[in-house]
Amino acid sequence: MDETRLRTVKVSFSRNQNYSYLNTDSETWLTMLEQLLSCHYENYKVTVTHDSYNRETVVEIEFANIDDATWFRLQQKD
């Protein structure tokens, strides 16, 4: 299996509102995620994408090693 795939975690945030011009909730979520990452991990890369209506934000985090990615996955609640 490709090591990059094992080090990469995808997290998505769906908005409840139908107003595409309101990005405050996703920006707050991204800020909180960035704070969590900067406090607990080193050498990670974050890529953020939005769907065409800004209703879903997808964040791809590529961690420096598989251990960090695994630990991040274990701490997430569905």
CA distances from 39 to 34, 35, 47 (A): 9, 6, 18
We find that the CATH architecture of domain 3-75 is 2-Layer Sandwich (3.30)
What is this structure's pTM?
A: 0.80
How far is the C-alpha of 57 from the C-alpha of 69, rounded, in Å?
Answer: 20
pLDDT score, position 19: 55
58-71 mean pLDDT: 95
Minimal CA–CA distance to 48: which of 12, 23, 75, 15? 12
Over residues 15-61, the pLDDT tens digits come to 766 555 555 667 788 899 999 999 999 999 999 998 877 678 899 99
